[in-house]
Structure 1
Amino acid sequence: MKLFRRLSYLLALTPLFLSGAAMAEGLDELPQDIQQSLYNKDMLDPQQPIGPSAYRDWKAKRSPPWTIGYASSYAGNTWRAMAMDRLQNEIIPKWKALGLLKDVIITQSNLKDAVQIQQIRQLVDQGVDAIIVCCSNPTALNQSVKYAYDKGVPVFSFTGYLTSPYAVNSSNNYQLGGYQVGKALTDQLGGTGNVLVVEGIPGTSGSDSQDRGMKAGLAAAPGVKIVGDVAGMWTDQIGQAEVQKWLATHPGQLDGIVVQSAAELGVLRALQQSGRKMVPITIGGESGALCYWRKNPDYLKESYQLWPPGDDIELIWNIMMRTLQGQGPKIQSVLVNSVKFTYDDVKARLDENCDENSDKWQNVGIDKWGGTTYLDQFFLRPADPEKYKP
């Protein structure tokens, strides 16, 4: 009887021992330079999931070719269009030719959480092998992610995180990236001036993380004052309209605008049409806005690309394929660093006859945005996913 009670006591303690072991998994398994540069708690969204992945010892229940669901939350901006272009014209044909992909089923929820939740459940019930989501509310989808997990279907979130322990996330470290953008503008202004902040879609993790980082970057210079805050919704037309309204009702001094892509081209147009002097506007990856800089060399000193659309979707795709193959992601969130553009970089990418109205994007290339060697460091059993033989 004593032995039975002793065994029961030890079994009761087992989850505690396992949780202690789990603390040594995931983040601690990454190289020190990655831990220090991208997962430093002082420059990381406090809600960013960085625990050990639920898929460390997981493998797809079916052999390829696999069917993938893409539960997109929005299709109304240039970024989403460019991500979809990479998916449909490059990624899908490539992986079908490799014999690892059967089909991709795409849904759109138009920023309605309830619709996206329903679509995720429908994709699971249709028999997909994995689901990709983008730029969503960090908590609203968690129950549907658990539903998918219980049915053997992993969910992969790119360009923002889900807080569910059953999701795999990939993105730039947006709080750090936002800080880099905000700090670049304060340096451009010499540490003093009035700044308008243009957020993305408030309530999404990518937008909220960037906004927090941008404002911290602006606060690094006591002489910089935030005089306004509007939501551009990551859409040029909305960003232009919101900034036009703000400018019309705030005739005071404005020295700079910090803006989340994809809205900088619209914000640039709003300022041009206002009749005010052209103050510095932070630029991400939109080609039209970068073209304005190309034709006005002294306009900015530097800019940062935080989410190249084609590279972002290819990054999560590669993470998904590795996971389906049983390579075992170490950690819940795979983060990458921003890419800085100088004028020389822009000059090399765009010629002097570039189009200032272009709604295309400048990607940085998947090798610079979580390429094969980089991703190997995030998996327990890394291998080239394109050479997979079931």
Structure 2
Amino acid sequence: MLALTGCGGNDFAGSSQTGSTSGSALSSLPAQAQKAYINSDALTGQPPYLDGWKPKGPPPWTIGYSSPYAGNSWQTTAMDYLMKQVLPRYQKAGLIKNIVVAQSGGDDTVQNQQIRQLADQGVDIIIACCSAKTALNLSIQYAYNTGVPFVAWSGHVDSPYAVSAVTNYREAGSVFAKEVFDKIGGKGNVLDVQGVPGATNAIDFETGVQDALKQYPGIKLVGSVNGMWSASVTKTEVQKFLATHPEKLDGIVAQPASATGALQALEQSGRPVVPINIGGETGAACYWVNHPDFATTGYNIWPPKGETDLGVETAVRILEQQGPKIQSIVLSVSPITYDEAKKALGTDCDPNADGWLEPTGGWLTGKQLDAFFQHPSDPLTWKQQ
């Protein structure tokens, strides 16, 4: 377990508050890194794990993973990668002993209970992905007061007692929407496929879609469905929409991983295939590979392996007292070119596949992540002082 040195959790919490500290925390980053924060809704104050904080004991540490659900290909891929590749990597380095997983089934009340239980059980740090923005705040503070840091990834939390490592999902929503709007000539009827209700990244993405709509008066949003970041759920929900809306549909804006399901719904309903943004799903990307005019550019915003690496490395760096400079580590969307998708998948790929493309240049890890820490070091070769 981790302990705070010099003072209790409540006293130390003051250094993590946003407000007047926000500008100084953001300005401590390189100019290029600061660009990713434009219009981001993530907190940018000073984090709670600066100088004067250290873990209670030496490595190997135990990580508690608070997972809200496990119902789609993203979660399956991320969990498999976490336990079979990430954990052994850090175990070999003598840094992580084990990862204790708690699944809440999408129930915020259960997840709050599990976070408190993980803290009481003595884990050294808690990580969580895809969480609600404020629903976990009291439990995050509870963990902090017991000496256990909290790292949110693939969705930020609005708690001054946590560190988030995320993409600028509001920017992503705007970029994805504009990709579709431009593809259909800036006018027409568009369906909006949203993600998991209440999840921070889904909310931020939708805010970005609304930002884009304000710039395209010729676009009419004719409906929205919750795809739950699942191809199968999206297919069902889009089919229901199409059955009750016979009017012409010109495009679909879909949160990953919904593009493949939306495509399947169009084809199985006998409706024309319309432009849909590519968000890293291999099925939709495969369709793009074999129909080059389907999209102009694809984008990665939450590749499961890249996001998992970012979340765990951020947690390990905190345990190593590298000291995050800012409360939210934010990166921009990562473009996927047609040639990259074709090289990764080939033309004989499966358009119904439920997998994921990962960015060819890697995600925000290693030396790229150094800029966000006061005392950066390769986390795998770090040695305790």
Return the TM-score normalized by structure 1: 0.91
The structure with the larger Rg is 1
Secondary structure at 1:162's aligned position in 2? Answer: coil
Query: Does structure 2 retain, via aligned residues, the 8 Å contact 1:183–1:220?
Result: no
Shift of 1:25: 3.3
1:76-225 correspondence runs (5 A): 76-225=71-220
What is the Cα-based RMSD across aligned positions, in Å?
A: 1.7
Query: Once the two structures are superposed, what CA deviation does each residue of 1:223-244 show, in whole Å capped at 9, x if it has no partner?
Result: 1111111111111121111111
Q: Does 1:245 align with 2:240?
A: yes
Could you tell me which residue of structure 2 aligns to residue 44 of structure 1?
40
Secondary structure at 1:102's aligned position in 2? Answer: strand
In 1, distance between residues paired with 2:286 and 2:94?
40
Q: Which amino acid aligns with 2:31?
A: Q
Q: Which amino acid aligns with 1:44?
A: S
Q: Which amino acid aligns with 2:79?
A: M
Query: Does structure 1 retain, via aligned residues, the 8 Å contact 2:336–2:359?
Result: no
Secondary structure at 1:291's aligned position in 2? Answer: helix
How has the CA–CA distance of structure 1 residues 21 and 184 changed in structure 2, closer, same or farther, with 3 Å as cutoff? Answer: closer
Q: Which amino acid aligns with 2:284?
A: A
Could you tell me which residue of structure 2 aligns to residue 8 of structure 1?
none
In 2, distance between residues paired with 1:349 and 1:285?
11
Could you tell me which residue of structure 2 aligns to residue 7 of structure 1?
none
Q: Which amino acid aligns with 1:384?
A: D
Shift of 1:102: 0.7
In 2, distance between residues paired with 1:115 and 1:66?
25
Between the aligned residues of both structures, percent identity stands at 46
Secondary structure at 1:385's aligned position in 2? Answer: coil
Could you tell me which residue of structure 2 aligns to residue 386 of structure 1?
380
Unaligned runs of 5+ in 1: 1-14
In 1, distance between residues paired with 2:18 and 2:63?
32
Could you tell me which residue of structure 2 aligns to residue 327 of structure 1?
322
Secondary structure at 1:314's aligned position in 2? Answer: helix
Query: Once the two structures are superposed, what CA deviation does each residue of 1:49-102 show, in whole Å capped at 9, x if it has no partner?
Result: 111111112221111000110010010000011111210111011111111111
Aligned residue among 367, 372, 379 for 2:366: 372
Shift of 1:19: 8.6
Aligned residue among 352, 355, 371 for 1:360: 355
Shift of 1:204: 1.3
Could you tell me which residue of structure 2 aligns to residue 29 of structure 1?
28
Shift of 1:371: 2.5
Secondary structure at 1:380's aligned position in 2? Answer: coil
In 1, distance between residues paired with 2:113 and 2:336?
40
Aligned residue among 328, 331, 334 for 1:336: 331
In 1, distance between residues paired with 2:146 and 2:31?
36
In 2, distance between residues paired with 1:368 and 1:225?
36
How has the CA–CA distance of structure 1 residues 106 and 19 changed in structure 2, closer, same or farther, with 3 Å as cutoff? Answer: closer
Query: Does structure 1 retain, via aligned residues, the 8 Å contact 2:22–2:44?
Result: no
Query: Does structure 1 retain, via aligned residues, the 8 Å contact 2:231–2:354?
Result: no
Q: Which amino acid aligns with 2:197?
A: P
Query: Does structure 2 retain, via aligned residues, the 8 Å contact 1:181–1:217?
Result: no
Unaligned runs of 5+ in 2: 1-13
Query: Does structure 1 retain, via aligned residues, the 8 Å contact 2:323–2:375?
Result: yes
Query: Does structure 2 retain, via aligned residues, the 8 Å contact 1:185–1:218?
Result: no
Query: Does structure 1 retain, via aligned residues, the 8 Å contact 2:259–2:284?
Result: yes
Secondary structure at 2:99's aligned position in 1? Answer: strand
Shift of 1:22: 3.2
Could you tell me which residue of structure 2 aligns to residue 12 of structure 1?
none
Shift of 1:20: 8.6
In 2, distance between residues paired with 1:215 and 1:264?
19
Q: Which amino acid aligns with 1:277?
A: P
Secondary structure at 2:237's aligned position in 1? Answer: helix
In 1, distance between residues paired with 2:22 and 2:83?
39
Secondary structure at 2:55's aligned position in 1? Answer: coil
Shift of 1:342: 2.2
Secondary structure at 2:140's aligned position in 1? Answer: helix
Secondary structure at 1:387's aligned position in 2? Answer: coil
More helix by share: 1
Return the TM-score normalized by structure 2: 0.93
